[in-house]
Structure 1
Amino acid sequence: MEKKPLRSNTTERLRHVLAVIAVIVTLYYLYWRITETFNQNAMFFSWALYGAEVFGAITTFLFYFVVWKPLKRETPPPIQNLTIDVLIPTKSESTDILRKTLLACNDLKYPHRTLVLDDGNRPEVKVLCEELHCIYLAREKQEHAKAGNLNFGLQHSTAEYIAIFDADHVPLPHFIDRLIGYFKDEKIAFVQAPQEFYNIDSFQHRTDPKKKTIWGEQYLFFSLIQPGRYRWNAAYFVGSCAIIRRQAL
Structure 2
Amino acid sequence: MQKDYFVAFEHRQPPQFPGLTKLDEAVWHIAAGLTIGLGIWYLSWRWLYSLNDDALIFAVAVAGAETAAFLGTLLFFFDIWREGDTPQKSPPKSRSAAHLSELGRLTIDVFVTTYDEGVEVVEHSMQDAAKLHAPENTDIKLHILDDGKQSGMHDLAKRLGATYHIRLNNIGFKAGNIAAAMRRSNGDFVVICDADCRLYPSFLENTLGYFRDQNVAWVQTPHWFYDVPAGRDRALPSGKKRPLRGILRGTLALFLGRKSGTDPFMADPSVFFDIIQRRRNRNHASFCCGAASIHRREAIMEEALSRWGSDAQKTSAGASEQVTPICRLIALQPFRYHVSEDILTSIDLHKKGWKSVYHPKVEARMLSPLSAHAWATQNLKYAGGTFDIMLRHNPLFSSGLNWRTKLHYAATFYSYLTFLIFPH
Q: Give TM-score, length-normalised by structure 1.
A: 0.88
Alignment of 1:2-151 (within 5 A): 2-3=15-16, 5=18, 7-80=20-93, 81-110=105-134, 111-151=139-179
Q: Does 1:185 align with 2:232?
A: no
Paired residues of 1:6 and 1:224 also in contact (CA < 8 A):
no
> Which residue among 181, 184, 196 is the counterpart of 1:168?
196
Which residue is equivalent to 1:226? 277
Structure 1 counterpart of 2:174, one-letter code: K
Aligned counterparts of 1:242 and 1:17: Cα–Cα separation in 2 = 35
CA-to-aligned-CA distance 1:186-223 (integer Å, 9 cap, x gap): 011111111112123279xx9979xxxxxx85222222
Q: Secondary structure at the match of 2:106?
A: coil
Cα drift, residue 169 of structure 1? 1.1
Taking structure 1 as reference, are residues 208 and 191 closer, same or farther at Cα in structure 2, changes over 3 Å only?
farther
Paired residues of 1:193 and 1:241 also in contact (CA < 8 A):
yes
Q: Secondary structure at the match of 1:191?
A: strand
**Relative contact order (C-alpha < 8 Å, sep 6+): which is higher?**
1
Cα drift, residue 125 of structure 1? 1.3
> Unpaired segments of 5 or more residues in structure 2?
1-12, 94-104, 232-255, 260-266, 301-424
Aligned counterparts of 1:100 and 1:38: Cα–Cα separation in 2 = 62
Aligned counterparts of 2:269 and 2:64: Cα–Cα separation in 1 = 30
Let me know the Cα RMSD of the aligned residues.
2.3
Structure 1 counterpart of 2:192, one-letter code: I
CA-to-aligned-CA distance 1:58-93 (integer Å, 9 cap, x gap): 122122112222212332111234111011211011
Larger radius of gyration: 2
Taking structure 1 as reference, are residues 174 and 14 closer, same or farther at Cα in structure 2, changes over 3 Å only?
same
Paired residues of 1:114 and 1:135 also in contact (CA < 8 A):
yes
Higher normalized helix content (fraction of residues): 2
Taking structure 1 as reference, are residues 199 and 37 closer, same or farther at Cα in structure 2, changes over 3 Å only?
farther
Bigger Cα displacement from structure 2, 52-61 vs 16-25: 52-61
Which residue is equivalent to 2:361? none
Taking structure 1 as reference, are residues 43 and 129 closer, same or farther at Cα in structure 2, changes over 3 Å only?
farther
CA-to-aligned-CA distance 1:34-76 (integer Å, 9 cap, x gap): 2344343433333333333222211221221122222123321
Cα drift, residue 4 of structure 1? 5.7
Taking structure 1 as reference, are residues 208 and 169 closer, same or farther at Cα in structure 2, changes over 3 Å only?
farther
Q: Secondary structure at the match of 1:83?
A: strand
Q: Secondary structure at the match of 1:136?
A: strand
Paired residues of 2:188 and 2:297 also in contact (CA < 8 A):
yes
Aligned counterparts of 2:34 and 2:80: Cα–Cα separation in 1 = 16
Which residue is equivalent to 1:153? 181
Q: Secondary structure at the match of 1:189?
A: strand
Paired residues of 1:78 and 1:178 also in contact (CA < 8 A):
yes
Taking structure 1 as reference, are residues 199 and 137 closer, same or farther at Cα in structure 2, changes over 3 Å only?
same
Paired residues of 2:129 and 2:142 also in contact (CA < 8 A):
yes
Taking structure 1 as reference, are residues 8 and 248 closer, same or farther at Cα in structure 2, changes over 3 Å only?
same
Taking structure 1 as reference, are residues 143 and 68 closer, same or farther at Cα in structure 2, changes over 3 Å only?
same
Q: Secondary structure at the match of 1:112?
A: strand
Taking structure 1 as reference, are residues 9 and 71 closer, same or farther at Cα in structure 2, changes over 3 Å only?
same
Which residue is equivalent to 1:213? none
Q: Secondary structure at the match of 1:151?
A: helix
> Which residue among 298, 305, 311 is the counterpart of 1:247?
298
Bigger Cα displacement from structure 2, 77-86 vs 10-19: 77-86
> Unpaired segments of 5 or more residues in structure 1?
210-215
Count of residue pairs brought into register by the alignment: 241
Taking structure 1 as reference, are residues 140 and 207 closer, same or farther at Cα in structure 2, changes over 3 Å only?
farther
